[in-house]
Structure 1
Amino acid sequence: MPHPYDICETPEVLDRREGPHGEVVLRRHGGLLQIIANGCFLMDTSDGRSERLLVDAAYEALDGRPEPSVLIGGLGVGFSLAHAAADARWGEITVVERERAVIDWHLDGPLAALSAPALADPRTRVVEADLVAHVRETSATYDALCLDIDNGPGWTVTDDNDSLYSPAGLAGCARVLRPGGVLAVWSAQPSPEFEGTLWNAGFRQVHTEEVPVARGVPDVVHLAVRPG
């Protein structure tokens, strides 16, 4: 059986749109669906292990808190949302996505096959907004923040995302977390510098969990707890 990512195939563009932060593209390459933003590869449907770890590690760090609420930053290809919705232990599930195109691809496009059951779940709410602005402006609070909007704290999709990983941005994350709440941040590579920033921002129990990949450095999830 051929590998789903057949490099001999030419990627097929399924949709291309101009969003508030530039061009976003959904394309099919072999058996995979891929999201490209301003020419930068963001994610595809090849695996999802690290996105599932993002959700599971956040839940485990909550030490059995009943029906915790979670904010998932970035809808992406839907792995994190689908995994959270498949777990009856989660309470309210809020997804913040700034690209209308991505939301549409899940509602009635090619990505619906991955996310339709999760989007139909009564616990799920999708908010079309910029995550940085949402964290700064919302009055809501959550037990867990699972953030996957960039390739990592040092490799952001757009420059304005940098502020989310700054001391002020992390203070905003702490503000919307309930006492003892968990911040989980996906990254394509480890970042000891970011761990230091988390400690300096007042988080505790800061650590990193790795997901081995076929080639190169492992994907990681940075975890930190807001003190009670």
Structure 2
Amino acid sequence: MPFTSDSYEPPEVLDRREGPHGEVVLRRHGALLQIIANGCFLMDTSDGRSERRLVDAAAEALGARSAPHLLIGGLGVGFSLAHAAADPRWGRIAVVERERAIVDWHHGGPLSAVSEAALADPRAEIVEADLVDHLRETCATYDALCLDIDNGPDWTVTEGNDGLYTPAGLADCARVLRPGGVLAVWSARPSPDFEETLRNAGFRQVRTEEIPVARGVPDVVHLAVGPG
């Protein structure tokens, strides 16, 4: 059927919130749910393979380790959390999310279809905090950090997130990683500059893995083992 303006269904706004970091919107577009932050498309429920691969790549890089503790930076549509909770090898799973609206959309909201089982898992908890602040202030330690709060190190959602990818931000990541711990960072495109920053910060075994997606250029996961 030829496309006409009459056949186009515009996205339906399910919720719109103004928070401390700007506007966050949940939309439904056909069968898809979409999260928009300050007018910037973040993610939707169309695929999820790269978000799941983010978790698996970290687990593989860790190797054999008893009940490793995992921190997921960014709840999003819940793919990473749901995938981690479905894997019995993980111990505690902490998800750091700063937007109360996104947390609400998972607790009995439209995104609960993705995350309901994971949130009922006793290993899982949601920490409502800014990830940059949490990494700087927490006394907790983790075996793996899987970070997905931006479209990549070179394409941040808010200006305050820039610090996460600097030497100071990576020092905070290294501080909370247990010996031999893994840092995995999701990105919509490769960042050679970020790879170099990781190496200069003392991270080892730095590499970038491409993940083919249904449409467009591959997503990537930046992987590194913590210093020491």
Query: What TM-score comes out, normalization by structure 2 length?
Result: 0.96
Distance (whole Å) between structure 1 residues aligned to residue 83 and residue 127 of structure 2: 18
**Is 1:45 equivalent to 2:51 in the alignment?**
no
Q: Which residue of 2 aligns with 1:3?
A: none
Q: Which residue of 2 aligns with 1:172?
A: 172
Deviation at 1:214, TM superposition (A): 4.1
Larger deviation: 211-220 or 153-162? 211-220
Q: Which residue of 2 aligns with 1:13?
A: 13
Distance (whole Å) between structure 2 residues aligned to residue 223 and residue 8 of structure 1: 40
Matches within 5 A, 1:41-120: 41-120=41-120
Question: What SS does structure 2 have at the residue aligned with 1:184?
Answer: strand
Q: Which residue identity lines up with residue 191 of structure 1 in the other structure?
A: S
Q: Which residue of 1 aligns with 2:195?
A: 195
- Name the count of aligned residue pairs: 222
Distance (whole Å) between structure 1 residues aligned to residue 9 and residue 64 of structure 2: 46
Structure 1 gap segments, 5+ residues each? 1-6
Distance (whole Å) between structure 2 residues aligned to residue 22 and residue 161 of structure 1: 13
Q: Which residue identity lines up with residue 124 of structure 1 in the other structure?
A: A
**Cα RMSD after superposing both structures:** 1.0
Question: What SS does structure 1 have at the residue aligned with 2:202?
Answer: coil
Q: Which residue identity lines up with residue 138 of structure 1 in the other structure?
A: T
Matches within 5 A, 1:139-150: 139-150=139-150
Deviation at 1:211, TM superposition (A): 0.8
Deviation at 1:30, TM superposition (A): 0.6
Larger deviation: 208-217 or 82-91? 208-217
Q: Which residue of 2 aligns with 1:137?
A: 137
Distance (whole Å) between structure 1 residues aligned to residue 117 and residue 123 of structure 2: 11
Distance (whole Å) between structure 2 residues aligned to residue 128 and residue 202 of structure 1: 29
Deviation at 1:33, TM superposition (A): 0.1
Matches within 5 A, 1:156-171: 156-171=156-171
**Is 1:219 equivalent to 2:187 in the alignment?**
no
Question: What SS does structure 2 have at the residue aligned with 1:60?
Answer: helix
The C-alpha deviation readout for 1:178-216, integer Å capped at 9, x for no partner, is 010000000000111110000000000000111123444
Deviation at 1:58, TM superposition (A): 0.2
Query: Do 2:47 and 2:213's aligned partners in 1 also have CA atoms closer than 8 Å?
Result: no
Q: Which residue identity lines up with residue 19 of structure 1 in the other structure?
A: G
Distance (whole Å) between structure 2 residues aligned to residue 216 and residue 108 of structure 1: 32
Query: Do 2:13 and 2:26's aligned partners in 1 also have CA atoms closer than 8 Å?
Result: yes
Q: Which residue identity lines up with residue 209 of structure 1 in the other structure?
A: E
Distance (whole Å) between structure 1 residues aligned to residue 101 and residue 20 of structure 2: 10
Deviation at 1:20, TM superposition (A): 1.1
The C-alpha deviation readout for 1:10-45, integer Å capped at 9, x for no partner, is 100000001110000000001000000011000000
Deviation at 1:66, TM superposition (A): 1.1
Distance (whole Å) between structure 1 residues aligned to residue 56 and residue 214 of structure 2: 22
Structure 2 gap segments, 5+ residues each? 1-6
Judging changes above 3 Å, is the alpha-carbon distance between structure 1 residues 215 and 108 closer, same or farther for their aligned structure 2 residues?
A: closer
Distance (whole Å) between structure 1 residues aligned to residue 215 and residue 24 of structure 2: 26
Distance (whole Å) between structure 1 residues aligned to residue 167 and residue 217 of structure 2: 26
Distance (whole Å) between structure 1 residues aligned to residue 108 and residue 19 of structure 2: 18
Question: What SS does structure 1 have at the residue aligned with 2:153?
Answer: coil
Q: Percent identity?
A: 81
Distance (whole Å) between structure 2 residues aligned to residue 31 and residue 9 of structure 1: 11
Question: What SS does structure 2 have at the residue aligned with 1:151?
Answer: coil
Q: Which residue identity lines up with residue 24 of structure 1 in the other structure?
A: V
Deviation at 1:217, TM superposition (A): 2.6
The C-alpha deviation readout for 1:46-103, integer Å capped at 9, x for no partner, is 0000000100000000011111000000000000000000000000000000000000
Distance (whole Å) between structure 2 residues aligned to residue 215 and residue 72 of structure 1: 25
